[in-house]
Structure 1
Amino acid sequence: EAFVVSIDEGRYYDAHEDLEVIWHPKRFEDNDEMRVWKGFINAAVSFELIARGRPNPSNVAWQTYRKYSVLIETLVTPHKELYVKIAQFIERKHAEVRKGE
């Protein structure tokens, strides 16, 4: 929830940190759920880089998000519905942020 609120408020660095706290201790787990979290973190990084006027690095981070976001489709987890909503929100926010470039 904090991740989504931070993104919605344009606090992209904070959004990265919100999720990093959860992801970091589990980052070596070899599963798609951890990769989805990594993708969400990269979306926040992409937004922050856009805000800082760095479009090329932003595109790299966005492509990492896209690479991992497709894993949601086949993910088996009780959190799948939440991840789908977060991904939809991120896609809408990306379109919004890109308009402001």
Structure 2
Amino acid sequence: MIKELDEFIVCLDEERFYDAHEVLEPIWFKKRFEDCDEIKLIKGFINAAVSFELRKRGKTIQAKKVWQNYLKYEPLLYKIDTKYINKYHAVSRHVQMINNSYL
């Protein structure tokens, strides 16, 4: 999981937002029907990447809608108990930094 989260950050840094989405998609997809806050948080990170890709393509309205999905899941950072919590916080800070650069 650390490897995938690190790769997600690299893709974001390189503005390869679609690729960032693809990195986390298999993790989420296998467990998408489980009621698991950690999986929902990963879905949120995927939504953030999709939002950035939409902005990159000039689809601002759609990007804002997808960004709202990320914001829905972001508070789960403070609810989950996982060995990856520090990495999730790092990813979240990175996502926020990129979002702020678009403002």
Taking structure 2 as the reference length, what is the TM-score of the superposition?
Answer: 0.92
How far residue 84 of structure 1 moved from its aligned partner, in angstroms, is 0.6
1:71-90 aligned within 5 A: 71-90=76-95
Gapped runs of 5+ residues in structure 1?
none
1:62 paired to 2:70? no
Whether 2:6 is the aligned partner of 1:11: answer no
What is the CA–CA distance in structure 2 between the aligned matches of 1:4 and 1:21, rounded to whole Å?
16
- Counterpart-to-counterpart distance in 2, 1:93 and 1:75: 24
Q: How many residues align?
A: 98
Q: Matched residue of 2:82: which SS?
A: coil
Q: Confirm or deny that 1:51 pairs with 2:47.
A: no
1:20 pairs with 2:34: no
Q: Distance in 2 between matches of 1:9 and 1:91?
A: 15
State the AA in 2 paired with 1:77.
Answer: T
Equivalent AA in structure 1 for residue 25 of structure 2: E
Match of 1:35 in 2: 40
Q: In the aligned structure 1, how far is the partner of 2:7 from the partner of 2:16?
A: 11
Question: Following the alignment from structure 1 to structure 2, what is the Cα–Cα distance between the partners of residues 70 and 5?
Answer: 23
Q: Aligned equivalents of 1:3 and 1:26: distance in 2?
A: 19
Distance 1:61 1:17 in 2: 16
